[in-house]
Amino acid sequence: METTVKNIMTGQLVQKVDLVIAGGAHVGLSLAVSVKKAAPKLHVVVVDAAKCGIWKTDSRTSAIAAATVRMLDMLQCWQSVLPNAEPIREMIVTDSRILDPIRPIFLTFSGNVKPDEPFAYMVENRHLYTSLYHLADELDVKIVEGVQVEKFDMEGQNIRVYLENGVVYKSSLLVGADGVHSNMRNIAGIKTFYKPYEQTGIVCVVAHDRPHNGRAEEHFLSTGPFAILPLKGNRSSLVWIEHNEQAKQLLAADNMLFQTQLEIRFGHHLGRLRVESSPLAYPLGLTLAREFIRPCFALAGDAAHGIHPIAGQGLNLGFRDAAALAEIIVETTRLGLHIGSLVALERYQIWRRFETVRMGVTTDVLNRLFSNDCMPLRVIRDIGLGLVDGMPWLKNYLIQQAAGLIKGSPRLLLGEPI
């Protein structure tokens, strides 16, 4: 419950709350609504440094795994997202050079983990954000937009959070969900392992003449993967990995040259292409926080881990963080214990740290294995892909992993209430 008291020494008004989340994107909002749904008496505040309403113009897209869909459905916001979500019904993997006239398919995946349950959907970020934002508002989550957390410090068993607009919160727990360049992580003094890749990710949306029929394509090229991911209508989302210098040249080039290079990689099987959204670029690297917690403080999402997009698992790892942390917060509350205690938060760190490190290492190895034109490696990986394609049990296991349906997952990801 929120209460306001005055600090006798400074004259500041201090608002007492239960949970402050710094970062109002998908992970921060999903954590807020997960906690509020299960423990409505807790007072939850989301502080977002992004400009008010900027999410409405977000042209980026995300792959939403089946386990995340179950979580969003349990939170009762998936139904409003579904009309704008495209199921991935099939996935193919090729390995070739950029100018090869034919790209042989080495590996194919069926798109379902169960009948009528695709292993993933593609969603434009703004639709997912809209649903989470409105749900948070309905649940009486307080959202403070366009304001940054300036600093925080401990006060007894609580944490005092200072916003740049002069507002001060006294909270049982502060969660940093403010992205890979997390200011919260820096203030907390948590060190990271960082490995830069000599690669840039280019993302954009293209329209095409022919239907994609829900098929996703991952083309392993010498500079990095080129993924074509289906969206609603005759549209696809691209994740185009290039060496840094080549990416700079592509982004600085005129539209005709960019379109030509895109068509060389995309191919002509879906007809004429039209770039629908301005290409966005971001440097790639592996970032792993050495710790996820401090007293009354926890990291979630990209603030805790930033991985290569080769497996499309970045945002889903963040949702898994949110589901795990929400479960721990709610269970701790029901026991009448302090949600910011290290005893409670250590459970979260143990639960999430191993998987995020494992995924970071896995994507790093895959990127090194496939983002090159070394002939011996090409022969080995193509044989490996062919062997996997001939093992239905292994393909099913990989689909289950990609869908996030892993033993020991948080309840929300299994479609169960907290």
Please give the Cα distance from 411 to 418 (Å, whole number).
6
3-state secondary structure of 13: strand
Sign of CA dihedral 117, 121, 126, 129: positive
pLDDT-derived band at 4 (thresholds 50, 70, 90) equals low
Is 297's pLDDT higher than 90?
A: yes
Contacts of 315 (CB under 8 A, 6+ apart): 26, 27, 62, 63, 64, 68
pLDDT of residue 9: 46
The helix (run of H) or strand (run of E) holding residue 123 is: strand 120-124
Query: Per-residue pLDDT tens for 204-262?
Result: 999 999 999 999 999 998 888 999 999 999 999 999 999 999 999 999 988 899 999 99
pLDDT of residue 113: 87
Beta carbons of 127 and 409 less than 8 angstroms apart: no
The helix (run of H) or strand (run of E) holding residue 52 is: none
Choose between 141 and 112: higher pLDDT.
141
Residue 347, Cα to own-chain centre: how many angstroms?
A: 22
Residue 233 has, within 13 A of its CA and on its CB side, a CA count of: 9
Q: Considering only CA atoms, which of 352, 346, 381, 350 is closest in space to residue 367?
A: 381
Please give the Cα distance from 227 to 240 (Å, whole number).
6
The token pair at 59 is 């042209």
Beta carbons of 270 and 208 less than 8 angstroms apart: yes
Query: Per-residue pLDDT tens for 158-179?
Result: 999 999 999 999 999 999 999 9
Please give the Cα distance from 99 to 255 (Å, whole number).
20
The token pair at 90 is 């099939």
pLDDT-derived band at 6 (thresholds 50, 70, 90) equals low
Please give the Cα distance from 5 to 170 (Å, whole number).
10
Q: Considering only CA atoms, which of 77, 135, 76, 67 is closest in space to residue 320?
A: 67
Please give the Cα distance from 65 to 121 (Å, whole number).
7
Q: Considering only CA atoms, which of 251, 236, 229, 235 is closest in space to residue 309?
A: 229
Residue 120 has, within 13 A of its CA and on its CB side, a CA count of: 29
Beta carbons of 103 and 96 less than 8 angstroms apart: yes
Beta carbons of 324 and 299 less than 8 angstroms apart: no
Is 101's pLDDT higher than 90?
A: no
Beta carbons of 118 and 87 less than 8 angstroms apart: yes
Query: Per-residue pLDDT tens for 44-94?
Result: 999 999 888 777 778 899 999 999 999 999 999 999 999 999 999 999 999
**DSSP strand E in 178-232: where?**
192-208, 215-221, 224-231
Residue 186, Cα to own-chain centre: how many angstroms?
A: 20
What are the φ/ψ torsions at residue 267 (nearest 5 degrees)?
90, 180
